[in-house]
Amino acid sequence: MAASTMNQFMHQALELAQLAADHDDVPVGCVIVKDGVVIASGENRREIDNDPTAHAEVVALRHAAAALGHWRLDGCTVIVTLEPCVMCAGAIVNARVDAVVIGASDEKAGAVGSRYNVLQDPRLLHEVAVTWDVESAASVELLQQFFAVRR
């Protein structure tokens, strides 16, 4: 995927992160692309849905599988504003996603290099290509604004 295309999809994910903040969820957004087209998206909905699994990536993965009619998301790329946590990285592996494009890193809970490296572990069933640091400043700014108001 060309860098300019990644930036364009990341801007869509950042809009979803803002949507999450608008309903008082930590601002993280995600879009899933196949053959150059967005087939699914999601934002963090943990608080609004009272659902501990409703991180942006899991929401988007479930939508993508529903759209494709299968749990295997071969050929798909996940574009997400924040480094996935353990749950979300595991879900990305389970869905056999081809590639992940990440905005900002999450040093406390990230599972794509910060705490674990679940997406590139040859012992697991599937490995995922990773691109880092796409529009990370915009993602960090959204997160800092969100927590600044609430602390």
Residues that bind a second copy (CB under 8 A): 46-47, 49-55, 58, 61-62, 65-66, 68-73, 85-91, 93-96, 108-109, 111, 115-116, 118, 121, 123-125
**How many Å apart are CA 12 and CA 26, to the nearest integer?**
17
Dihedral sign of CA atoms 141, 128, 31, 20 in order: negative
| Minimum CB distance to a second copy smaller for 26 or for 134 | 26
CB of 71 to a second copy, least distance (A): 4
The answer to whether 115 and 90 are in contact (CB under 8 A) is: no
Residue 29 or 84: the one with the smaller Cβ distance to a second copy is 84
CA separation for the pair 95, 64 (Å, rounded): 10
State the nearest-atom distance from the C-beta of 11 to a second copy, in Å.
26
By C-alpha distance, which of 41, 57, 50 is closest to 90? 57
Classify 117 as helix, strand or coil. strand
Min dist CB 103 to a second copy, Å, is 20
Q: Which is nearer to a second copy, 57 or 135 (CB)?
A: 57
